């Protein structure tokens, strides 16, 4: 920044000297009729050059000021964010440690309750399966008994009346159904 300020002072001194010299030359050139146009062109060129220097200085000066402010703000933001992150981590760890045991107990109770329900369902399903097996066996036994009784009765009827053809057809029909 000191270097920029010293350059600024040196440019001001040079600009004042060049302005004085241009004014002297202008007076001398004004005496000459044809040289007035050339002098006006040189004067306009010098004024544009001065404007450009001023503009460049303003841009440089504001750039360095803005850059310095940006760096300060970024460093402040990083420090503040790191402190906030540390504070959040400590709060989260406290919350996690406090609530972890409660959540664990609740979930273990729920799991044990669901396991007992599943065990009861499993026992109910096994008893139902055994009852179905016993019912199917009883059904098969009763059908076999019924078929045996039916066959005995039909054999008795056949022995009793072997001559009737209607009875034979009836018996064949019933046997076909079985």
Locate 13 and state its tokens: 């001194």
Q: What is the CA radius of gyration of the chain?
A: 58
Q: Residue 122: what pLDDT?
A: 93
The structure's pTM equals: 0.32
In our burial notation (b when 16+ CB lie closer than 10 A, e otherwise), range 141-178 reads eeeeeeeeeeeeeeeeeeeeeeeeeeeeeebeeeeeee
Residue 172 to residue 178: CA distance in whole angstroms: 10
112-148 per-position pLDDT tens digit: 999 999 999 999 999 999 999 999 889 888 888 888 8
Does residue 164 have a pLDDT over 60? Answer: no
Place of tokens 């009765």: 153
Residue 69 to residue 105: CA distance in whole angstroms: 53
Residue 171 pLDDT grade (very low, low, confident, very high; cuts 50, 70, 90): low
Q: Residue 87: what pLDDT?
A: 81
80-114 per-position pLDDT tens digit: 777 778 887 888 888 777 778 888 888 889 999 99
CA within 13 Å, CB half, 42: 13
Residue 129 to residue 122: CA distance in whole angstroms: 11
Count of positions (residues) in the chain: 178
Residues 6+ apart with CB under 8 A from 147: 178
28-74 per-position pLDDT tens digit: 666 665 666 766 777 788 888 888 888 888 777 778 888 888 888 88
More confident residue, 167 or 64: 64
Q: Residue 55: what pLDDT?
A: 81
């Amino acid at each position: 920044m000191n270097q920029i300020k010293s350059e600024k002072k040196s440019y001001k001194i040079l600009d004042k000297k060049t302005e004085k010299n241009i004014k002297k030359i202008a007076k001398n050139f004004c005496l000459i009729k044809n040289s007035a146009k050339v002098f006006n062109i040189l004067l306009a060129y010098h004024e544009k050059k001065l404007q450009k220097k001023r503009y460049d200085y303003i841009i440089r000066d504001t750039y360095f000021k803005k850059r310095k402010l940006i760096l300060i703000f970024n460093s402040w933001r990083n420090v503040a964010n790191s402190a906030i992150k540390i504070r959040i981590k400590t709060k989260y760890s406290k919350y996690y440690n406090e609530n972890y045991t409660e959540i664990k107990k609740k979930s273990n109770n729920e799991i044990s309750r669901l396991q007992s329900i599943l065990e009861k369902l499993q026992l109910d399903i096994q008893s139902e399966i055994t009852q179905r097996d016993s019912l199917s066996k009883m059904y098969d036994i009763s059908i076999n008994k019924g078929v045996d009784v039916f066959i005995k009765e039909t054999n008795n009827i056949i022995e009793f009346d072997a001559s009737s053809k209607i009875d034979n057809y009836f018996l064949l029909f019933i046997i076909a159904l079985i």
